[in-house]
Amino acid sequence: MQPGELPRTVLPEAARTAFVRMRGITKSFYGARANDGVDFTLQGGEIHALLGENGAGKSTLMNVLTGLYQPDSGEIAIEGHVRRIASPADAIEAGIGMVHQHFKLVPAFTVAENIHLGWNETPFRLDPASLAARTQALSDRFGLAVSPGARVADLSAGEQQRVEILRVLARGTRILVLDEPTAVLTPAEVRALFAALRAFRADGNAVILISHKLGEVLEIADALTVMRAGRSVATGSTAGASRSSLARLIIGDTAIPATVARNETDVPGAQAVPLALRGVSVRDHRGIALLDGVDLDVRAGEILGIAGVAGNGQRALSEVLTGCVRPDAGDVLLDGDASGPRGAREFADWGVGHIPEDRLRTALAADLPLGENAVLRDYRGDAAGSGPFLFPRRLARLARRIIDDAAVNLRDSRIPARNLSGGNQQRLVAERERRIASRVLVAAYPTRGLDVGAVAALHAGMQALRASGVGVVLISEEIEELLAQADRIAVLFAGRIAGILPVAQADAERLGLLMSGQVLPEPVS
């Protein structure tokens, strides 16, 4: 608890009516039981973490609470009264609001318009100035900084999320549900979010927080519930819990995967540079520089970490490294060669895998079945057909294998990718891209949304690629992850490489300085 914060009033157990009491909630999707008799209790004035593996049923349970899904059986009591929550509107009326794992804002609308969309308190006569003023007032009241006139499409993930939260809080929410809110936030944005949540709690409200980041859970949550395979398996206070005790609760009896450490051995032929950038600049459609004169060598058998606060050119960097975007100036060298017209196809065929930051919009066709998403790369290879022809049987077999190897929890390859849980979508993309990365893998925030076990598996996979001589580019905001996995760490600031440190010379403090645009006191190798 922060110094200076008010101690929470603790009432005797009997006198407290739980804010939310869910009993025996069962929800199955044809053939699969996402929730299986789940009990969940939320007290007023607490931040309650909901934990569990990918596909454990956390998002489903919250979708039931917020009226998006109807449970097959079970009951929900809000402040002691059993209620049927038939729609999100009912949930809002009951004071429950949710920010989803995948944002649901309208990108073409402004912040103010998004906040006032579908809200019964929106004034009948609309003019932009009064909408903006109302939005500003809300922003001040809840301590969430947003710029009312900005278009949502132009906002960073953190800003979009503040808009989502503000939108929910504006409707008089007393129970705020956040589904993996910190997955896409910078550390500073996380701090701001947590401060706002603490203030919200201090007013006697409650928060349900779904997260895979156990450190954050320990920092902010008062209570926790752990789900496994659709059931709630543990619940209690966070007092006395540790990361490893939580991890054990989440994964169950399965051995806890050791944090994968960097492989210190050098890989033979490691001096080769399969992919390099020379003076690369990329501009957006308004002519603003996203990357500005970047020089970068991706070496074989090396994990090159890219540190930096999101929004400093990471997306452009990953796109330029994978041929999705051609630089406006400078060269992208494949094996030292800059010649030839090259796009995403040529890069992929040459052996560059790409885990993009926005899996649901870029890496997956969400409405198409799992099977077709799984073979999005392999459909072109010899294993799937010959010449212009494709052999559906072989393609189905390939899809089967990729889905199995990805350890996705839904095995029916005909189910639309949209219906996978967030972490399982990420697993599928990671496995598909790992397979084609025979030379280079560019991974942007690859552990986003993954549970503890899957993070370890992904890191092990990257180390294995490194050992086989593949160059891995790991774009991440988590300095800990970079220090543990990478051989060298480049820091991206305002579209430029602010410095490149061998991991032996890197520490959180130095990286932090570079990330905030300051110059290191001593020369950097």
Partner 1 sequence: MRGFVVQRVPSVSGRVRNAAYAVSALVAVFVAGLLLAALGLHPLALGGSVLKQSLGSRFGVQDLLLLASPLVMCGLSVSLMLRVGLWNIGADGQFYVGAACAAGVALFGPHGSPLLVQITMGLAAMAGGALWIAVPALARLLLGTSEIIATLLLNFVARLGLDWLVTGPWRDPHGMAAAQTARIPDPLPKLPRDWHLGGLHWGLAVVLGLAALLAAAFRFTRWGFELRICGANRDTAAYAGMNVRRRLFQAMLLGGAIAGLGGMLELSGTVHRLQSGLSNGYGYVGIIVAVLAASSPLGCVFTGLLMALVLNAGLVLQTQGVPSSAALALTGLILLFAAIGERLAHYRIVPTRPVAGAGGVA
Ligand X SMILES: Nc1ncnc2c1ncn2[C@@H]1O[C@H](COP(=O)(O)OP(=O)(O)OP(=O)(O)O)[C@@H](O)[C@H]1O
CA 82 to chain centre: 34
Partner whose footprint covers residue 231, from Mg ion, partner 1, ligand X, none (CB < 5 to 8 Å by kind): partner 1
Question: Based on CB atoms, which residue is closest to partner 1, 27 or 171?
Answer: 27
Rule CB under 8 A: choose which of 239, 389, 509, 519 binds partner 1.
Answer: 389
Partner whose footprint covers residue 523, from partner 1, Mg ion, ligand X, none (CB < 5 to 8 Å by kind): none
Among the listed ranges 97-105, 121-129, 150-158, 432-440, the one in contact with Mg ion (CB under 5 A) is 97-105
Return the number of other C-beta atoms located less than 10 Å from residue 19's C-beta. 24
Partner whose footprint covers residue 52, from partner 1, Mg ion, ligand X, none (CB < 5 to 8 Å by kind): ligand X
Binding mask 73-112 for partner 1 (x = CB under 8 A): x---------------------------------------
Sign of the CA dihedral 236, 240, 242, 245? negative
Residue nearest to Mg ion (CB): 59
Binding mask 208-237 for partner 1 (x = CB under 8 A): ---------------------xxx------
Rule CB under 5 A: choose which of 45, 148, 422, 446 binds Mg ion.
Answer: 422
Distances (CA, A) of 345 to 349, 350, 398, 439, 442: 6, 8, 20, 15, 15
Partner whose footprint covers residue 72, from Mg ion, ligand X, partner 1, none (CB < 5 to 8 Å by kind): partner 1
Question: Based on CB atoms, which residue is closest to partner 1, 104 or 345?
Answer: 345
Distances (CA, A) of 504 to 173, 262, 482, 484: 48, 12, 12, 11
**Minimum CB separation from Mg ion for residue 179, in Å?**
6
* Contacting residues for 9 by C-beta, under 8 A, at least 6 apart: 45
Helix (H, G, I), strand (E, B) or coil at 213: coil
User: 482 near 451, Cβ under 8 Å?
Assistant: no
**Minimum CB separation from partner 1 for residue 387, in Å?**
9
State the Cα–Cα distance between residues 56 and 318, nearest whole angstrom.
Answer: 31
State the Cα–Cα distance between residues 196 and 92, nearest whole angstrom.
Answer: 20
Partner whose footprint covers residue 36, from ligand X, Mg ion, partner 1, none (CB < 5 to 8 Å by kind): partner 1
Of the candidates 436, 489, 492, the one whose C-alpha atom is nearest the C-alpha of residue 313 is 492
**Minimum CB separation from ligand X for residue 486, in Å?**
25
**Amino acid at position 313, single letter:** G
Going by DSSP bridges, is the β-strand pair 231-237/302-307 parallel, antiparallel, or unpaired?
unpaired
Beta bridge partners of 473: 304, 442
Chain residues binding ligand X by CB under 6 A are 29, 32, 34, 52, 54-60, 101, 409-410, 419-424
Among the listed ranges 21-29, 113-121, 210-218, 474-482, the one in contact with partner 1 (CB under 8 A) is 21-29
Question: % helix / strand / coil in the chain, to the nearest 5?
Answer: 35, 25, 40
Of the candidates 157, 154, 35, the one whose C-alpha atom is nearest the C-alpha of residue 448 is 157
State the Cα–Cα distance between residues 525 and 499, nearest whole angstrom.
Answer: 9
Told to check if 354 binds partner 1 by CB under 8 A, we report yes
Going by DSSP bridges, is the β-strand pair 32-42/289-298 parallel, antiparallel, or unpaired?
unpaired
Residue nearest to ligand X (CB): 423
Total residues in contact with partner 1, by rule CB under 8 A: 48
User: 15 near 181, Cβ under 8 Å?
Assistant: no
**Computed over its alpha carbons, how large is the radius of gyration of the chain?**
24
Question: Based on CB atoms, which residue is closest to ligand X, 154 or 405?
Answer: 405
Partner whose footprint covers residue 429, from partner 1, Mg ion, ligand X, none (CB < 5 to 8 Å by kind): none
Which residues ranging from 274 to 303 are in contact with partner 1 (CB under 8 A)? Answer: none
Told to check if 59 binds Mg ion by CB under 5 A, we report yes
Of the candidates 50, 63, 71, the one whose C-alpha atom is nearest the C-alpha of residue 102 is 63
Told to check if 308 binds Mg ion by CB under 5 A, we report no
Backbone phi and psi for residue 243, each to the nearest 5 degrees, phi listed first: -55, -45
User: 209 near 215, Cβ under 8 Å?
Assistant: no
- Give the pair of three-digit tokens for residue 182: 């910190």
Told to check if 68 binds partner 1 by CB under 8 A, we report no
**Minimum CB separation from partner 1 for residue 268, in Å?**
30
Rule CB under 8 A: choose which of 343, 507, 517, 518 binds partner 1.
Answer: 343
Distances (CA, A) of 17 to 6, 45, 90: 21, 12, 20
Which residues ranging from 418 to 477 are in contact with partner 1 (CB under 8 A)? Answer: 419
Partner whose footprint covers residue 66, from partner 1, ligand X, Mg ion, none (CB < 5 to 8 Å by kind): none
Rule CB under 8 A: choose which of 17, 26, 156, 505 binds partner 1.
Answer: 26
Q: What size, in residues, is the chain?
A: 525
Told to check if 191 binds partner 1 by CB under 8 A, we report no
Told to check if 366 binds partner 1 by CB under 8 A, we report yes
Reduced 3-state DSSP string for 104-125: CCCCCCEHHHHHHCCCCCCCCC
- Residues in contact with partner 1 by CB under 8 A are 26, 28-30, 33, 36, 70, 72-73, 229-231, 323-324, 343-349, 354, 356, 361-369, 372, 376-377, 379-380, 384-385, 388-392, 414-416, 419
User: By the criterion CB under 5 A, which residues form the site for Mg ion?
Assistant: 59, 101, 421-422
